[in-house]
Copies of this chain bind each other. A is one copy, B any other.
Amino acid sequence: MIGLGPGAAELMAPAVREELDRAQDIVGYTTYVEMAGPFRPDQRILDSDNRREMDRARLAFELAAQGRRVVVVSSGDPGVFAMATAVMEALDGASDPSWRTVDLAILPGISAAQATAARIGAPLGHDFCTISLSDNLKPWSQILLRLEHAALADFVIALYNPLSKARPWQLGEALELLRRHRAPETPVVLGRDVGRPDERVIATTLAEVRPEQVDMRTLVIVGSSLTRQFPRSDGGAWVYTPRWYPEAPRG
């Protein structure tokens, strides 16, 4: 199980490159398999559609249990809203005992949140949380509960899966909730396809950000009450969250 990182070869761990080169079978979502390639003619590509995580995980165990050297490809970090969890679910629920004998290793990668943060400064430099806004596998009420507590805790918040065609209103509602807790000038960072040719990173504010600026390939970071924005010499902005936190005013 490997993580490609954001996409640029220069940010992919050498251990990941080595496993891709050694693999006999490459299993993954078509887009990510293409990012991981090119592969040799003797390597078998078993790519599939985005939503088939459990099918891919089970296929990988079937092949590995037969003695094949298999790589499951994930973008970013496989352990952050990605394929490593599906692989664990498949193994935990395995009815075929031979799956338990598979020599499984998980190799991490740079996550989308980290890649976006690095481009804009250090917004995740203090306590933060990472929440997926997708309500495909969890109730929206639980997402709202987490956002509310994240706001009350004054965490920096990284939002994964903020929006898709099938989930058009969730980000707007999430931002509405956060606006009730944080100042309008709170920095917000939008990172799209960071580390790929069409990379776009925008620093804006909680008052100004609009769901129309965001799609399913965008990572959204909402600052804490202390996150700061200041101009850089090229006309853009740096965003960071200081290492310190003030003492609460004494009542």
Contacts and interface: CB of A to CB of B under 8 A. Distances in A.
Interface stretch (A23-31, A147-155, A168-176, A209-217): A147-155
Contact-size category for A: 35 or more
B125 A84 contact: yes
Interface string A105-133: 01111110011011101111111111110
Contact of A106 (B10, B85, B121, B127): B121
A15 B7 CA distance: 13
Contacts of A95: none
A139 interface: yes
Contacts of A53: 243
A248 B117 contact: no
A228 interface: yes
B228 A79 contact: no
Say how many copies of this protein the assembly contains: 2
Given A88-B238, A122-B84, A153-B149, A108 B101 contact: no
Given A12-B14, A79-B118, A119-B106, A142 B88 contact: no
Interface string A1-22: 0000100111111110010000
A119 B106 CA distance: 7
Secondary structure dominating the interface of A: mixed
Contacts of A153: 129, 145-146, 148-150, 153
Contacts of A5: 13
Interface in A206-243: 228, 230, 232-233, 238, 240-243
A21 to B, nearest CB: 13
A51 B171 CA distance: 40
Contacts of A145: 152-153
Interface of A: 5, 8-15, 18, 53, 77-82, 84-89, 91-92, 100-101, 106-111, 114-115, 117-119, 121-132, 137-139, 141-142, 145-146, 148-150, 152-155, 228, 230, 232-233, 238, 240-248
Kindly list the 3 A-B residue pairs having the minimum CB-CB distance in the complex, ordered from nearest: A85-B125, A138-B245, A88-B240
